Amino acid sequence: MKFTAKTTILNILFLLVGAAILLFLLKAPEETTSRLPMDDTHRKFQSGISKKAAEKQCGQCHGPGGEAQLPPDHPPPYRCLFCHKRQI
């Protein structure tokens, strides 16, 4: 098998890109968002229900006038389970 200069350059470029992607992923910050609590209120949303169906019910407690309102600096609450993972 004969290697040309072009093949060698492409192989080195591939290795460098792969190493850069690996370093990027290894340096990613740790997950800081809290998970969905495992209490009686949230247990029914852990499994057996789709994420979209569960998220439609979050506003009952976490929306305006709810008993567990979100802080003012909280991101828009329409994709709760995108950040707050289930503890299955």
Q: How many domains would you assign to the chain?
A: 1
- Give the Å distances, CA to CA, from 19 to 4, 10, 13: 23, 14, 10
pTM of the model: 0.59
Of the candidates 5, 8, 4, 86, the residue with the CA atom closest to the CA atom of residue 47: 86
23 assigned to some structural domain: no
Q: What is the pLDDT of residues 33-77, one digit of tens each?
A: 888 888 888 888 888 888 888 888 888 888 888 888 888 888 877
Range(s) of the domain holding residue 69: 43-83
pLDDT at 1: 67
